[in-house]
């Protein structure tokens, strides 16, 4: 099972191609507010995360995740 730092690093790597505004990423970086992602970008990114970690992120869970730190926590729970 990956640790949280490794999970966070992998996620930030996945975010980079989608980070069109070259925002400096942190735990608190929000997908909609800071990165200004639209729903299509979110769907594409979620697909990347699901492939990378071999998990399924439900629509309900997606709706609760607003920032990078929350995503790292959610991925760790799903991978476990």
- Per-residue pLDDT tens, the chain, 80 aa: give them: 679 999 999 999 999 999 999 999 999 999 999 999 999 999 999 999 999 999 999 999 999 999 999 999 999 999 97
pTM, to two decimals: 0.93
Residue with tokens 């942190």: 26
Cβ(71)–Cβ(49) below 8 Å = yes
Query: Which CATH number covers residue 27?
Result: 1.10.1200.10
Up-side HSE of residue 4: CA atoms within 13 Å toward CB? Answer: 9
State the residue range of the domain holding 39.
4-79
Q: How many domains does the chain have?
A: 1
């Amino acid at each position: 099972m990956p640790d949280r730092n490794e999970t966070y690093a992998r996620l930030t790597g996945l975010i980079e191609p989608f980070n069109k505004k070259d925002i400096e990423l942190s735990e608190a970086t929000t997908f909609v507010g800071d990165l200004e992602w639209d729903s299509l970008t979110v769907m594409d990114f979620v697909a990347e995360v699901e492939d990378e970690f071999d998990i399924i992120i439900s629509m309900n869970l997606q709706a609760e995740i607003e920032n990078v730190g929350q995503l790292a926590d959610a991925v760790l729970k799903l991978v476990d």
